[in-house]
Copies of this chain bind each other. A is one copy, B any other.
Amino acid sequence: MKPLAEIFSQGEEIVCGQTVDSNAAWLSQQLVELGFTLKRHTAVGDNLEDLVALFTEIAERADCCICTGGLGPTIDDLTAEAVSTASGQPLQFDAQAFAEIQQYYARRNRVMPEANRKQAMLPQSAVSIDNAYGTAPGFALQFKRCWFVFLPGVPSEMKQMFTALVRRQLLQRFPQQPDCLVTLRSIGIGESAIQQCLANFAWPDGVQLGFRAAPDEVQTKLLFPGGFPEAHKQTCVADIAERIGTYVFAIDGLNEQQGDLLEVVASAMSAKRYSLALLETASQGLLAGKCLGREWLTSVEVNLDWGRNTGSWSGIAGAGDLQPIAKVWAEQLKAREQTVFALVQLYSGSAEDYSDKDKTIVLYNALATPTGVVSTKLNAHGTLKHKQNQAALLALDLLRRYLQNKCH
Protein backbone atom coordinates (compact mmCIF):
# COMPACT_ATOMS: atom_id res chain seq x y z
CA MET A 1 0.00 0.00 0.00
CA LYS A 2 1.56 3.26 -1.08
CA PRO A 3 1.53 6.24 1.31
CA LEU A 4 -1.10 8.90 0.57
CA ALA A 5 0.08 12.41 -0.23
CA GLU A 6 -1.57 15.78 -0.68
CA ILE A 7 -0.42 19.14 -1.97
CA PHE A 8 -1.46 22.31 -0.25
CA SER A 9 -0.94 25.84 -1.60
CA GLN A 10 -1.45 29.04 0.35
CA GLY A 11 -2.01 32.48 -1.09
CA GLU A 12 -4.71 34.96 -2.04
CA GLU A 13 -3.05 35.29 -5.45
CA ILE A 14 -3.72 31.61 -6.10
CA VAL A 15 -7.25 31.44 -4.70
CA CYS A 16 -8.21 34.66 -6.51
CA GLY A 17 -6.64 33.40 -9.74
CA GLN A 18 -3.88 35.96 -10.27
CA THR A 19 -1.33 33.15 -10.21
CA VAL A 20 -1.70 29.74 -11.80
CA ASP A 21 -0.52 27.19 -9.24
CA SER A 22 2.21 25.38 -11.16
CA ASN A 23 3.93 24.34 -7.92
CA ALA A 24 1.20 21.80 -7.19
CA ALA A 25 1.74 20.02 -10.51
CA TRP A 26 5.52 20.00 -10.17
CA LEU A 27 5.42 18.65 -6.62
CA SER A 28 2.86 16.00 -7.57
CA GLN A 29 5.14 14.69 -10.29
CA GLN A 30 8.02 14.48 -7.83
CA LEU A 31 5.90 12.58 -5.29
CA VAL A 32 4.57 10.16 -7.91
CA GLU A 33 8.17 9.32 -8.78
CA LEU A 34 8.93 8.76 -5.09
CA GLY A 35 6.14 6.18 -4.96
CA PHE A 36 3.31 8.13 -3.31
CA THR A 37 -0.36 7.99 -4.27
CA LEU A 38 -1.53 11.57 -4.80
CA LYS A 39 -5.00 12.16 -3.38
CA ARG A 40 -5.78 15.84 -3.33
CA HIS A 41 -4.64 19.39 -4.08
CA THR A 42 -6.02 22.24 -1.99
CA ALA A 43 -5.45 25.97 -2.14
CA VAL A 44 -6.74 28.57 0.31
CA GLY A 45 -6.04 32.24 0.90
CA ASP A 46 -4.30 34.03 3.72
CA ASN A 47 -7.00 33.40 6.33
CA LEU A 48 -5.98 31.95 9.68
CA GLU A 49 -9.24 30.12 10.32
CA ASP A 50 -9.23 28.41 6.91
CA LEU A 51 -5.59 27.41 7.30
CA VAL A 52 -6.11 25.93 10.73
CA ALA A 53 -9.18 23.97 9.58
CA LEU A 54 -7.33 22.63 6.58
CA PHE A 55 -4.17 21.54 8.39
CA THR A 56 -6.38 19.75 10.91
CA GLU A 57 -8.27 17.92 8.13
CA ILE A 58 -5.16 16.91 6.23
CA ALA A 59 -3.42 15.73 9.41
CA GLU A 60 -6.13 13.07 9.77
CA ARG A 61 -6.25 11.71 6.24
CA ALA A 62 -2.81 11.97 4.56
CA ASP A 63 0.58 10.42 5.31
CA CYS A 64 2.46 13.32 3.79
CA CYS A 65 1.58 16.84 2.69
CA ILE A 66 3.82 19.31 0.89
CA CYS A 67 2.71 22.89 1.49
CA THR A 68 3.87 25.99 -0.38
CA GLY A 69 3.50 29.68 0.37
CA GLY A 70 2.79 31.80 3.41
CA LEU A 71 6.35 31.79 4.76
CA GLY A 72 7.24 35.40 3.92
CA PRO A 73 7.96 38.24 6.33
CA THR A 74 4.72 40.19 5.88
CA ILE A 75 1.57 40.18 7.97
CA ASP A 76 -0.37 38.13 5.43
CA ASP A 77 2.08 35.22 5.77
CA LEU A 78 0.34 33.06 8.35
CA THR A 79 1.54 29.50 7.83
CA ALA A 80 3.68 29.06 10.94
CA GLU A 81 1.01 30.62 13.15
CA ALA A 82 -1.71 28.41 11.65
CA VAL A 83 0.34 25.24 12.10
CA SER A 84 1.05 26.26 15.66
CA THR A 85 -2.64 26.84 16.40
CA ALA A 86 -3.79 23.64 14.69
CA SER A 87 -1.19 21.39 16.31
CA GLY A 88 -1.08 23.10 19.69
CA GLN A 89 2.69 23.60 19.40
CA PRO A 90 3.84 27.08 20.46
CA LEU A 91 6.05 29.09 18.11
CA GLN A 92 9.69 29.18 19.14
CA PHE A 93 12.61 31.25 17.98
CA ASP A 94 14.83 29.04 15.78
CA ALA A 95 18.40 30.31 16.10
CA GLN A 96 19.70 28.39 13.09
CA ALA A 97 16.91 29.59 10.82
CA PHE A 98 17.52 33.14 12.04
CA ALA A 99 21.27 32.90 11.39
CA GLU A 100 20.53 31.79 7.83
CA ILE A 101 18.19 34.73 7.22
CA GLN A 102 20.84 37.09 8.60
CA GLN A 103 23.50 35.52 6.37
CA TYR A 104 21.25 35.99 3.34
CA TYR A 105 21.24 39.75 3.95
CA ALA A 106 24.89 39.91 5.04
CA ARG A 107 26.05 38.27 1.81
CA ARG A 108 24.19 40.96 -0.11
CA ASN A 109 25.52 43.78 2.08
CA ARG A 110 21.98 44.69 3.06
CA VAL A 111 20.46 45.34 6.46
CA MET A 112 17.90 42.74 7.50
CA PRO A 113 14.48 44.42 7.94
CA GLU A 114 13.02 43.76 11.38
CA ALA A 115 10.00 42.08 9.74
CA ASN A 116 12.16 39.15 8.64
CA ARG A 117 12.73 38.10 12.27
CA LYS A 118 9.22 36.61 12.12
CA GLN A 119 10.43 34.02 9.61
CA ALA A 120 12.58 32.40 12.29
CA MET A 121 9.59 31.70 14.59
CA LEU A 122 8.75 28.02 13.99
CA PRO A 123 6.43 25.53 15.74
CA GLN A 124 8.13 23.67 18.61
CA SER A 125 8.85 20.30 16.97
CA ALA A 126 9.62 21.76 13.55
CA VAL A 127 12.87 20.96 11.74
CA SER A 128 13.96 23.95 9.67
CA ILE A 129 14.92 23.54 6.00
CA ASP A 130 17.59 25.90 4.70
CA ASN A 131 16.66 28.12 1.78
CA ALA A 132 19.84 28.88 -0.13
CA TYR A 133 18.07 31.18 -2.61
CA GLY A 134 15.82 33.38 -0.49
CA THR A 135 15.01 34.55 3.02
CA ALA A 136 12.13 32.23 3.89
CA PRO A 137 13.38 29.03 5.53
CA GLY A 138 11.13 26.01 5.18
CA PHE A 139 10.26 23.58 7.94
CA ALA A 140 8.81 20.13 8.48
CA LEU A 141 6.98 18.42 11.31
CA GLN A 142 4.77 15.46 12.18
CA PHE A 143 1.18 16.37 13.08
CA LYS A 144 -1.07 13.38 13.85
CA ARG A 145 -0.88 10.95 10.90
CA CYS A 146 0.80 13.39 8.50
CA TRP A 147 4.38 14.51 7.85
CA PHE A 148 4.00 18.15 6.75
CA VAL A 149 6.70 19.91 4.73
CA PHE A 150 6.43 23.70 4.34
CA LEU A 151 8.27 25.40 1.48
CA PRO A 152 8.20 28.93 0.05
CA GLY A 153 5.82 29.66 -2.81
CA VAL A 154 8.46 31.15 -5.12
CA PRO A 155 8.89 28.30 -7.63
CA SER A 156 12.69 28.58 -8.03
CA GLU A 157 13.29 28.50 -4.27
CA MET A 158 10.75 25.75 -3.70
CA LYS A 159 12.20 23.52 -6.44
CA GLN A 160 15.77 24.04 -5.30
CA MET A 161 14.88 23.15 -1.69
CA PHE A 162 12.85 20.12 -2.70
CA THR A 163 15.57 18.78 -4.96
CA ALA A 164 18.50 19.52 -2.64
CA LEU A 165 16.97 18.54 0.71
CA VAL A 166 13.35 17.43 0.91
CA ARG A 167 13.55 14.63 -1.64
CA ARG A 168 16.22 12.77 0.35
CA GLN A 169 14.36 13.27 3.64
CA LEU A 170 11.18 11.84 2.13
CA LEU A 171 13.01 8.81 0.77
CA GLN A 172 14.30 8.05 4.28
CA ARG A 173 10.94 8.57 5.92
CA PHE A 174 8.87 6.71 3.30
CA PRO A 175 11.07 3.85 2.08
CA GLN A 176 8.62 2.33 -0.41
CA GLN A 177 10.09 0.99 -3.63
CA PRO A 178 9.67 3.86 -6.03
CA ASP A 179 8.57 3.42 -9.58
CA CYS A 180 11.15 4.29 -12.20
CA LEU A 181 10.30 7.07 -14.58
CA VAL A 182 12.26 7.23 -17.84
CA THR A 183 11.74 10.35 -19.96
CA LEU A 184 12.69 10.53 -23.63
CA ARG A 185 13.11 14.20 -24.49
CA SER A 186 12.63 15.24 -28.09
CA ILE A 187 12.36 18.35 -30.22
CA GLY A 188 10.91 18.89 -33.68
CA ILE A 189 8.28 16.13 -33.50
CA GLY A 190 4.76 16.30 -32.02
CA GLU A 191 2.92 14.08 -29.56
CA SER A 192 0.68 12.40 -32.10
CA ALA A 193 3.59 11.69 -34.46
CA ILE A 194 5.43 10.02 -31.57
CA GLN A 195 2.30 8.04 -30.76
CA GLN A 196 2.28 6.77 -34.35
CA CYS A 197 5.97 5.77 -34.12
CA LEU A 198 5.06 3.60 -31.11
CA ALA A 199 1.79 2.21 -32.50
CA ASN A 200 2.89 -1.41 -32.91
CA PHE A 201 5.31 -1.57 -30.00
CA ALA A 202 4.69 -4.56 -27.72
CA TRP A 203 4.34 -2.98 -24.25
CA PRO A 204 5.63 -5.08 -21.34
CA ASP A 205 3.14 -5.60 -18.47
CA GLY A 206 2.87 -2.77 -15.98
CA VAL A 207 4.71 -0.12 -18.01
CA GLN A 208 2.70 3.10 -18.29
CA LEU A 209 3.12 5.46 -21.25
CA GLY A 210 2.47 9.18 -21.00
CA PHE A 211 3.25 12.33 -22.95
CA ARG A 212 3.95 15.87 -21.94
CA ALA A 213 4.18 18.75 -24.38
CA ALA A 214 6.42 21.29 -22.63
CA PRO A 215 7.12 24.68 -24.25
CA ASP A 216 10.64 23.63 -25.29
CA GLU A 217 10.27 19.91 -25.96
CA VAL A 218 7.95 16.92 -26.10
CA GLN A 219 8.50 14.32 -23.39
CA THR A 220 7.63 10.65 -23.78
CA LYS A 221 7.31 9.24 -20.28
CA LEU A 222 7.68 5.57 -19.41
CA LEU A 223 6.78 4.61 -15.86
CA PHE A 224 8.32 1.22 -14.99
CA PRO A 225 6.94 -0.43 -11.83
CA GLY A 226 9.38 -0.87 -8.92
CA GLY A 227 11.33 -4.13 -9.40
CA PHE A 228 11.04 -4.18 -13.21
CA PRO A 229 14.15 -6.08 -14.52
CA GLU A 230 16.93 -3.60 -15.32
CA ALA A 231 18.16 -5.25 -18.54
CA HIS A 232 14.63 -5.49 -19.92
CA LYS A 233 14.09 -1.82 -19.11
CA GLN A 234 17.27 -0.83 -20.96
CA THR A 235 16.32 -2.69 -24.15
CA CYS A 236 12.77 -1.41 -23.98
CA VAL A 237 13.95 2.22 -23.75
CA ALA A 238 16.55 1.74 -26.50
CA ASP A 239 13.90 0.29 -28.81
CA ILE A 240 11.51 3.19 -28.19
CA ALA A 241 14.27 5.78 -28.66
CA GLU A 242 15.14 4.25 -32.00
CA ARG A 243 11.51 4.32 -33.11
CA ILE A 244 11.22 8.04 -32.32
CA GLY A 245 14.53 8.68 -34.08
CA THR A 246 16.99 11.57 -34.19
CA TYR A 247 14.45 13.96 -32.62
CA VAL A 248 15.40 12.46 -29.24
CA PHE A 249 18.10 14.65 -27.73
CA ALA A 250 18.25 13.20 -24.22
CA ILE A 251 17.01 10.32 -22.08
CA ASP A 252 16.51 11.04 -18.39
CA GLY A 253 16.08 8.51 -15.60
CA LEU A 254 18.04 5.65 -17.12
CA ASN A 255 21.58 6.34 -15.95
CA GLU A 256 22.04 10.04 -15.42
CA GLN A 257 19.93 13.12 -16.00
CA GLN A 258 21.09 14.56 -19.31
CA GLY A 259 19.09 17.74 -18.98
CA ASP A 260 17.40 19.96 -21.50
CA LEU A 261 18.54 20.78 -25.02
CA LEU A 262 20.86 23.56 -23.88
CA GLU A 263 22.47 21.34 -21.22
CA VAL A 264 23.07 18.58 -23.76
CA VAL A 265 24.74 21.03 -26.15
CA ALA A 266 26.65 22.78 -23.36
CA SER A 267 28.10 19.54 -21.99
CA ALA A 268 29.53 18.59 -25.37
CA MET A 269 30.76 22.11 -26.17
CA SER A 270 32.51 22.49 -22.79
CA ALA A 271 34.00 19.00 -22.76
CA LYS A 272 35.66 19.53 -26.15
CA ARG A 273 36.48 23.22 -25.55
CA TYR A 274 34.61 24.20 -28.70
CA SER A 275 33.61 27.79 -29.45
CA LEU A 276 30.57 29.24 -31.19
CA ALA A 277 29.75 32.45 -33.05
CA LEU A 278 26.05 33.17 -33.43
CA LEU A 279 23.90 35.27 -35.75
CA GLU A 280 20.25 35.56 -34.76
CA THR A 281 17.34 37.04 -36.69
CA ALA A 282 13.92 35.52 -35.88
CA SER A 283 14.97 34.63 -32.34
CA GLN A 284 16.18 38.23 -31.74
CA GLY A 285 18.64 37.61 -28.90
CA LEU A 286 16.64 34.86 -27.21
CA LEU A 287 19.18 32.13 -28.05
CA ALA A 288 22.12 34.26 -26.83
CA GLY A 289 20.11 35.01 -23.69
CA LYS A 290 19.51 31.29 -23.07
CA CYS A 291 23.27 30.70 -23.37
CA LEU A 292 24.10 33.09 -20.52
CA GLY A 293 27.16 31.94 -18.57
CA ARG A 294 28.28 29.49 -21.28
CA GLU A 295 31.91 30.31 -21.99
CA TRP A 296 31.82 28.61 -25.41
CA LEU A 297 29.55 31.32 -26.87
CA THR A 298 32.13 33.91 -27.84
CA SER A 299 30.33 36.21 -30.27
CA VAL A 300 26.73 37.24 -30.85
CA GLU A 301 25.17 39.32 -33.59
CA VAL A 302 21.47 40.22 -33.72
CA ASN A 303 20.26 41.33 -37.13
CA LEU A 304 16.91 43.12 -37.12
CA ASP A 305 17.04 44.24 -40.76
CA TRP A 306 14.67 41.64 -42.10
CA GLY A 307 11.55 42.77 -40.31
CA ARG A 308 12.18 46.39 -41.32
CA ASN A 309 12.16 46.17 -45.07
CA THR A 310 10.17 44.37 -47.69
CA GLY A 311 12.15 41.18 -47.97
CA SER A 312 15.87 41.42 -48.39
CA TRP A 313 18.76 40.71 -46.08
CA SER A 314 21.28 43.53 -46.16
CA GLY A 315 21.14 43.89 -49.89
CA ILE A 316 20.40 40.28 -50.83
CA ALA A 317 17.29 40.58 -52.93
CA GLY A 318 14.20 38.41 -53.02
CA ALA A 319 12.49 36.17 -50.48
CA GLY A 320 12.59 32.56 -51.69
CA ASP A 321 15.18 30.06 -50.55
CA LEU A 322 17.60 31.54 -48.04
CA GLN A 323 19.49 28.30 -47.44
CA PRO A 324 22.45 29.15 -49.75
CA ILE A 325 22.76 32.59 -48.12
CA ALA A 326 22.64 31.15 -44.62
CA LYS A 327 25.41 28.71 -45.54
CA VAL A 328 27.69 31.37 -47.02
CA TRP A 329 27.12 33.65 -44.05
CA ALA A 330 27.91 30.84 -41.60
CA GLU A 331 31.24 30.20 -43.31
CA GLN A 332 32.05 33.91 -43.34
CA LEU A 333 31.11 34.29 -39.68
CA LYS A 334 33.27 31.30 -38.71
CA ALA A 335 36.25 32.74 -40.60
CA ARG A 336 35.78 36.22 -39.16
CA GLU A 337 35.32 35.17 -35.53
CA GLN A 338 37.83 32.29 -35.72
CA THR A 339 35.51 29.94 -33.83
CA VAL A 340 35.11 26.17 -34.16
CA PHE A 341 31.43 26.61 -35.09
CA ALA A 342 29.33 29.43 -36.50
CA LEU A 343 25.53 29.21 -36.40
CA VAL A 344 23.40 31.45 -38.61
CA GLN A 345 19.64 31.61 -38.20
CA LEU A 346 17.65 33.39 -40.95
CA TYR A 347 13.98 33.38 -41.81
CA SER A 348 11.66 34.32 -44.62
CA GLY A 349 8.21 35.76 -44.13
CA SER A 350 7.12 39.35 -43.56
CA ALA A 351 6.79 41.11 -40.21
CA GLU A 352 3.04 40.53 -40.59
CA ASP A 353 3.53 36.77 -41.12
CA TYR A 354 5.68 36.70 -38.01
CA SER A 355 3.10 38.49 -35.86
CA ASP A 356 0.07 36.59 -37.12
CA LYS A 357 -0.50 33.44 -35.09
CA ASP A 358 -2.23 31.79 -38.03
CA LYS A 359 0.69 32.34 -40.44
CA THR A 360 3.86 30.32 -40.83
CA ILE A 361 7.44 31.52 -41.29
CA VAL A 362 10.32 29.45 -42.70
CA LEU A 363 13.49 29.13 -40.64
CA TYR A 364 16.83 28.60 -42.38
CA ASN A 365 19.62 27.43 -40.09
CA ALA A 366 23.20 26.89 -41.19
CA LEU A 367 26.08 25.62 -39.08
CA ALA A 368 29.65 26.00 -40.26
CA THR A 369 31.75 23.19 -38.75
CA PRO A 370 35.33 21.97 -39.09
CA THR A 371 34.01 19.41 -41.61
CA GLY A 372 31.79 21.67 -43.73
CA VAL A 373 28.39 23.35 -43.47
CA VAL A 374 25.18 21.59 -42.42
CA SER A 375 21.75 23.18 -42.58
CA THR A 376 18.06 22.78 -41.85
CA LYS A 377 14.92 24.36 -43.28
CA LEU A 378 11.94 24.20 -40.93
CA ASN A 379 8.59 25.89 -40.31
CA ALA A 380 7.60 27.86 -37.24
CA HIS A 381 4.00 28.73 -36.42
CA GLY A 382 1.86 30.11 -33.65
CA THR A 383 2.17 33.34 -31.72
CA LEU A 384 5.09 35.73 -31.97
CA LYS A 385 6.65 34.35 -28.77
CA HIS A 386 6.14 30.77 -29.88
CA LYS A 387 7.81 31.39 -33.24
CA GLN A 388 10.71 33.17 -31.54
CA ASN A 389 11.25 30.30 -29.14
CA GLN A 390 11.03 27.73 -31.95
CA ALA A 391 13.58 29.73 -33.95
CA ALA A 392 16.02 29.71 -31.01
CA LEU A 393 15.52 26.04 -30.19
CA LEU A 394 15.62 24.70 -33.73
CA ALA A 395 18.85 26.59 -34.44
CA LEU A 396 20.38 25.16 -31.28
CA ASP A 397 19.07 21.73 -32.27
CA LEU A 398 21.12 21.82 -35.47
CA LEU A 399 24.25 22.19 -33.34
CA ARG A 400 23.00 19.37 -31.07
CA ARG A 401 22.49 17.05 -34.05
CA TYR A 402 26.01 17.74 -35.32
CA LEU A 403 27.52 17.19 -31.86
CA GLN A 404 25.60 13.89 -31.49
CA ASN A 405 26.51 12.74 -35.02
CA LYS A 406 22.88 12.87 -36.03
CA CYS A 407 23.14 15.12 -39.09
CA HIS A 408 22.14 13.11 -42.13
Does any Cβ of B come within 8 Å of A109's Cβ? Answer: yes
Does any Cβ of B come within 8 Å of A315's Cβ? Answer: no
Are B40 and A43 in contact, with the CB atoms below 8 A? yes
Task: In the complex, identify which listed stretch (A91-99, A236-244, A280-288) lies at the interface while the others stay far away.
Answer: A280-288
Encoded as 1 (CB less than 8 Å from any B CB) or 0, chain A from 370 to 400 comes to 0000000001011111101000000000000
Are B302 and A300 in contact, with the CB atoms below 8 A? yes
The residue on B at minimum CB distance from A282 is B292
A13 to B223, CA, bound (A): 12
Given contacts A108-B360, A293-B354, A298-B304, whether A20 and B17 have CB atoms under 8 Å apart is: no
A25 to B24, CA, bound (A): 13
Q: Which 10 A-B pairs have the closest CB atoms?
A: A17-B28, A285-B285, A285-B288, A286-B289, A17-B29, A41-B43, A17-B25, A285-B289, A300-B302, A20-B25
Are A212 and B43 in contact, with the CB atoms below 8 A? no
Given contacts A24-B17, A41-B41, whether A299 and B289 have CB atoms under 8 Å apart is: no
Given contacts A42-B40, A76-B210, A285-B302, whether A115 and B50 have CB atoms under 8 Å apart is: no
Encoded as 1 (CB less than 8 Å from any B CB) or 0, chain A from 193 to 228 comes to 101100000000000011111000000010000000
Does any Cβ of B come within 8 Å of A254's Cβ? Answer: no
Does any Cβ of B come within 8 Å of A170's Cβ? Answer: no
The residue on B at minimum CB distance from A107 is B358
Are A283 and B293 in contact, with the CB atoms below 8 A? no
Does any Cβ of B come within 8 Å of A156's Cβ? Answer: yes
The residue on B at minimum CB distance from A358 is B107
Residues of B within 8 A of A386 (CB): 156
How many interface residues does A have (CB within 8 Å)? 91
Are A25 and B32 in contact, with the CB atoms below 8 A? no
Chain B CB count within 10 A is highest, among A73, A209, A289, A301, for A289
A301 to B283, CA, bound (A): 14
Given contacts A38-B45, A297-B304, whether A195 and B74 have CB atoms under 8 Å apart is: yes
Are A289 and B283 in contact, with the CB atoms below 8 A? yes
Does any Cβ of B come within 8 Å of A14's Cβ? Answer: yes
Picked from B43, B191, B298, B355, the residue with its CB within 8 Å of the CB of A308 is B298
Which A residues from 18 to 32 make CB contacts under 8 A with B? 18-22, 24-32
Does any Cβ of B come within 8 Å of A12's Cβ? Answer: yes
The residue on B at minimum CB distance from A181 is B16
Residues of B within 8 A of A191 (CB): 72-74
Are B40 and A385 in contact, with the CB atoms below 8 A? no
Which A residues from 274 to 317 make CB contacts under 8 A with B? 280, 283-289, 291-293, 295, 297-302, 304, 307-308
Q: Looking at the assembled complex, report how far the CB atom of A207 sits from the nearest CB atom of chain B, in whole angstroms.
A: 14
Does any Cβ of B come within 8 Å of A113's Cβ? Answer: yes
Chain B CB count within 10 A is highest, among A28, A46, A191, for A28
Are B17 and A213 in contact, with the CB atoms below 8 A? no
Picked from B17, B22, B44, B192, the residue with its CB within 8 Å of the CB of A27 is B17
**What are 12 of the A-B contact pairs (CB < 8 Å)?**
A14-B41, A17-B29, A18-B29, A21-B21, A21-B41, A40-B43, A133-B382, A156-B386, A280-B285, A284-B292, A295-B307, A301-B302
Residues of B within 8 A of A30 (CB): 17
The residue on B at minimum CB distance from A280 is B285
A24 to B386, CA, bound (A): 23
Are B192 and A113 in contact, with the CB atoms below 8 A? yes
Does any Cβ of B come within 8 Å of A406's Cβ? Answer: no
Q: Looking at the assembled complex, report how far the CB atom of A111 sits from the nearest CB atom of chain B, in whole angstroms.
A: 11
The residue on B at minimum CB distance from A302 is B300
Residues of B within 8 A of A385 (CB): 292
Residues of B within 8 A of A196 (CB): 113
